[in-house]
Copies of this chain bind each other. A is one copy, B any other.
Amino acid sequence: MSRSIKKEAILDTAESLFYDHGFHAIGLKKILEEANVAIMTLYNHFSSKEQLIEEILKRRESQYWLYLDSFVEEGSASPFLQVVKAHVNWLNDKGKNGCMFLRAMEEFAGTDNQIENIARNHKNKLLKYLRDLGQKSGYANDEDIAFQMTVLLEGATSMAEIVGPQQAGKQAISMAQSLLNTWRR
């Protein structure tokens, strides 16, 4: 089964182009050229440009969670530091141009609810993940910790656009270590 080798080519190049230039800035034509795929092949796999974007976001989200899951070990002494390190690795691999979910929210809020919700739900899921992690690790106020961790992670993502992922990652880890001392168990 050559099952969907073409579909994955579309998803890969579309994700790359959308991430590098924005969703509205990239037309289907450019995707088709770079992916070496015919227009009808795209519409055979996806019902519209918006639905293609939805699949890309869902796929990217599951990839992000793979990074977190592989770095954060059950019952770790410093789970939040592992979260930051996972995020920094994510930035190094495919986060040099900001957060694709926030960018989807920014471009489609008030226009395409489906796309906006996928992005927004991901962020809320991340907040809940951090809250649960704090609670599970015996921290006092998991609410504030989850918020501050989010500020830290999103800040590192933006900072990576300005001075690169390694510099941003180094500072994010340093900040996390400082903040960890202020969080009481």
Contact = CB atoms under 8 A, between A and B. Distances in A.
Contact of A155 (B20, B105, B153): B153
Contact of A162 (B120, B167, B168, B181): B120
A162 to B, nearest CB: 5
A148 B161 contact: no
Interface string A138-156: 0000001001101111111
Interface stretch (A35-43, A57-65, A73-81, A95-103): A95-103
Interface residues of A, number: 46
Contacts of A181: 182
A113 interface: no
A123 B25 CA distance: 23
| Chain multiplicity (copies) | 2
By DSSP majority rule, is chain A's interface helix, strand, loop, or mixed?
A: helix
A161 B24 contact: no
Given A175-B179, A182-B178, A150 B155 contact: yes
12 contacts: A21-B106, A21-B107, A24-B24, A120-B162, A151-B159, A151-B168, A152-B155, A152-B175, A153-B155, A154-B154, A154-B159, A155-B156
Given A151-B171, A152-B155, 10 more contacts: A21-B111, A98-B102, A102-B161, A103-B103, A120-B162, A147-B168, A148-B175, A150-B159, A152-B175, A158-B158
Interface of A: 20-22, 24-25, 97-99, 102-103, 105-107, 109-111, 120, 123-124, 127, 144, 147-148, 150-159, 161-163, 167-168, 171-172, 174-175, 178-179, 181-182
